[in-house]
Amino acid sequence: MKKLTLAEWEKHYIAEPLTQFDQIHTMTRRVYADRQMKELLESLSDPVTYNDKPGFFQKEYAVRWAPRYLHAQIAELNNSKVNPSQLSVTISKIIQESKGALSYVPGEVKDKHHDTPENAAGLVKKIAKFYGADLVGIAPLQDRWIYSHTCERTEGGSSYTYEKQDIPEEIKYTVVMGFAPGYNILKYARTYIAGAGHDEASTRMVVTSALMTQFLQNLGYKAIDCNIDDVVISVPLAMLAGLGQLGRHGMLITPQFGPRIRLGVVLTSLPVSIDTPIDFGVTEFCGVCKKCARMCPSQSIPFGERNTVPNNISNAPGGIKWYHNAATCRIRAVTHKYPCSTCITVCPYNKPDTLFHQAVRWFTDHARWGDRFYSWMDDFCGYGKVKKPDNFWNEWRPEDK
């Protein structure tokens, strides 16, 4: 694995100076802020519930929606953002006005144990792991990764807010944390079962991000919990924090978990030393592999070379990459009434972090001329298949992750 200088990273991924992207153009916001898209999705959507097919039983629906509902609720409580929701402000006020254990007093900067950026980074990384992160890295915060405006659905969902986002100048760092869903549960892509895997990790992500934010504020520093892509674009920050590289499917690929990772980001004014971007051969391997593009049921992943041409307004322009079509991916999800994530499940980098798979990764990193062979071997060994959910409850061992 090679460490990249920032100049090398820029040359590899950036085509032109980037301007700030507007959150209203992301698919998570277009579902309610883009009238045409909203009407289209509403015309395709029925209330999603369970049925009598394996992967869609009531217990599978229940195991998926428990974490999904919870992380949506926790995300609503986030009042650390520059433009918090009215609901989070109200709840925070109620808590602050209550007595006893909940009468929290913000800290001041007094403790000198973290007085060098290196010590502070070490402290933050330990705390991230303690609170539940599988991976953690630190990147500098730059304007180009911050959404120019924020867009939030208001209570009742019939309208939305649209506000300029100005992050305080003293906030210069991002703590990027990774949360891995279980390998064994994600094999059952295109069912509620794999959805449960993603949502369990997302719940750990929102809880850990909230805890990290509170921890930094208790030390007396500013901290903003970015929740699920609420404030910044998380994938380039994760790359700059040394967590991984960008894959053909538009997601971060990490050495430890491949693309099987959820990203939580906390911004802070605590001076911390930053990490270095890495290169372990992902761009070259994706160049020959294309398995996610072949298996994508909505043809949302391109087959060609990396380029600089966005698909539609939901792609932030200016990068050299494979532009994933988030609109067709979303339309498919709504039309078929179940989550997909096939591209994550079938990706050859999605493997348990065992000695054997570490050895394979060594070859894909150090002998890149063999990428076609490794890709063929992955298929030959029977990896990268979506598993049928018929016998899930007997096969699944949650402790095996």
Q: Which is nearer to ligand SF4, 274 or 296 (CB)?
A: 296
Shortest spacing between CB 249 and ligand SF4, in angstroms:
5
235 three-state secondary structure: helix
For ligand SF4, the closer of residues 22 and 371 by Cβ is 371
User: In the complex with ligand SF4, which residue's Cβ is closer, 243 or 347?
Assistant: 347
* Beta-bridge partner residues of 161: 152
Which tokens sit at 12? 């590899």
The rounded distance, in Å, linking the Cα atoms of 375 and 284 is 11
> Between 114 and 260, whose beta carbon lies closer to ligand SF4?
260
Which residue's CB is nearer to ligand SF4, number 64 or number 291? Answer: 291
Exposed/middle/buried for 35, CB within 10 Å: 0-12, 13-18, 19+?
Answer: exposed
Q: Which is nearer to ligand SF4, 264 or 302 (CB)?
A: 302
253: three-class secondary structure by DSSP: strand
Closest distance of CB 384 from ligand SF4, Å: 7
Helix or strand holding residue 179 (H, E): strand 173-179
Contact assessment for residue 81 and residue 150, using Cβ atoms and an 8 Å cutoff: yes
Report the nearest approach of ligand SF4 to the CB of residue 43 (Å): 19
Residues in the chain: 401
Query: Residue 245's beta-bridge partner residues?
Result: 253
Torsion of CA 257, 334, 321, 177, to 10 degrees: -40
CB of 322 to ligand SF4, least distance (A): 8
Partners of 173 in beta bridges: 140, 268
Nearest-approach distance from CB 246 to ligand SF4, in angstroms: 9
Shortest Cβ 90–ligand SF4 spacing (Å) = 35
Output the smallest distance, CB 149 to ligand SF4, in A.
Answer: 26
List interacting residues with ligand SF4 (CB under 6 A).
247-249, 285-286, 289-292, 296-298, 300-301, 329, 332, 340-343, 346-349
Structural contact between residues 65 and 401, judged by C-beta atoms closer than 8 angstroms: no
Nearer to ligand SF4, 249 or 306 (CB): 249
Please tell me the distance from the alpha carbon of residue 399 to that of residue 146, in angstroms, as a whole number: 38
Dihedral (Cα; 353, 355, 357, 359), 10-degree rounding: 140
Q: How far is the CB of 351 from ligand SF4 (least distance, A)?
A: 11
**From the CB of 194, what's the least distance to ligand SF4, in Å?**
10
Based on CB atoms, which residue is closest to ligand SF4, 74 or 282? 282
Which one, 56 or 349, has the nearer CB to ligand SF4? Answer: 349
Inter-residue contact 229 to 146 (CB < 8 Å)? no
Q: Distances from the Cα of 369 to the Cαs of 11, 51, 285, 373, in angstroms?
A: 22, 48, 9, 9
Closest by CA position to 292, among listed 216, 343, 218 = 343
Q: Positive or negative CA dihedral for 46, 47, 50, 51?
A: negative
Beta carbons of 204 and 132 less than 8 angstroms apart? yes
